[in-house]
Amino acid sequence: MVIHCLIAYKDITMRNSVLLLSASITAASANEVAKAYIPYVWNTTAPEIHDHPVQAQNGFFYTGGNADGVCPTYEPNCASSNTTIISGPTTSPYNPNVTDAFWLGVLDPHGQEMVMIGHDFRYTLPKTNLGNGPNEKAINTPFSVEFDDFSQQTVLRFNGDDWVGCQVLDTVTGRIKPDLIVQALTFGSVLWANAFEYKCTPFKMRLEETTAPAVDYYRRDCPDKWKKCCPELCVS
Ligand SMILES: *[C@@H]1O[C@H](CO)[C@@H](O)[C@H](O)[C@H]1NC(C)=O
Ligand SMILES: *[C@@H]1O[C@H](CO)[C@@H](O)[C@H](O)[C@H]1NC(C)=O
Ligand SMILES: *[C@@H]1O[C@H](CO)[C@@H](O)[C@H](O)[C@H]1NC(C)=O
């Protein structure tokens, strides 16, 4: 069995930059080199979302707004707290033969993996080495970094496909949220969302390489049921 190791590495000279190192260097992982990126919406015919940052917010990704980055205690006003930094690809934690896992760029040594839960693009709970919460089926791969001929941009794909941003109801205000929630096109999200008459807009996820410093972790609150069953999963 191959042991995989994700190391969040604090580089003194580069001020907290995160390197994701896979301990198992395989032939497959030589093809793609893990890098840190900031993801953006690319769709020039949808100016209302074009060039918005794709932001990690409480376990989901949205086309805009601020990221829920939590600063390390030693630097409470860290520069990247409202920026989503992603890193990859690395060897899959579930299959040593493929290099297609992606992570949020964090200092948390457990990492925060990017996953699909149902049709939603999500990320795992902070401060736990458990892949995901109880009773949720997550699909972590395949992510790939590709050069897209149409947009002439470097993009992130899931299962070889692009993305959609869909309108979503804010259960607190009872209104549609200003930012669209990100889903994988590969699961036919457009059809799913249209069933609720919420508008979805396809887009390509443009990646911009970055050396911005990492945050400690990105917030994702525990649902109440998890707080009851498994409080050890929940950062208080
Ligand atoms: C993020 O925070 C910085 C500094 O606090 C600010 O200059 C920048 O406009 C913010 N970005 C967004 C998207 O709000
Ligand atoms: C990885 O490749 C090896 C050798 O070809 C194979 O035995 C193994 O089943 C593969 N693992 C997975 C999870 O596909
Ligand atoms: C951009 O959005 C428009 C309007 O929803 C859609 O028709 C088009 O396919 C999208 N383009 C890309 C490249 O995703």
Closest to 198 (Cα-Cα) out of 129, 144, 141, 119: 119
Q: What is the pLDDT of residue 128?
A: 78
Does ligand 1 have an atom closer than 6 angstroms to the CB of 194?
no
Q: What is the pLDDT of residue 146?
A: 96
Q: Regarding predicted confidence, which is higher, 170 or 189?
A: 170
Closest to 2 (Cα-Cα) out of 32, 26, 18, 36: 26
Q: Regarding predicted confidence, which is higher, 113 or 206?
A: 206
CA of 82 to the centre of ligand 1 (A): 6
> Distance of alpha carbon 9 from its chain centroid, rounded?
19
Does ligand 2 have an atom closer than 6 angstroms to the CB of 24?
no
Helices (H) and strands (E) in the chain, counts: 3, 15
Indicate if the pLDDT at residue 228 is higher than 60.
yes
Is the pTM higher than 0.85? The answer reads no
CA of 81 to the centre of ligand 1 (A): 9
CA of 231 to the centre of ligand 1 (A): 33
Average confidence (pLDDT) over 117-132? 79
* Least confident segment among 68-72, 79-83, 101-105, 225-229: 225-229
> Distance of alpha carbon 24 from its chain centroid, rounded?
22
Average confidence (pLDDT) over 107-128? 86
* Least confident segment among 21-30, 72-81, 87-96, 217-226: 21-30
pLDDT digits (tens, 9 = 90+) for 202-219: 999 999 999 999 999 999
Indicate if the pLDDT at residue 89 is higher than 70.
yes
In order of 29, 118, 156, 224, the CA distances from 236 in angstroms are 36, 26, 32, 12
Report residue 21 as tokens: 């190192």
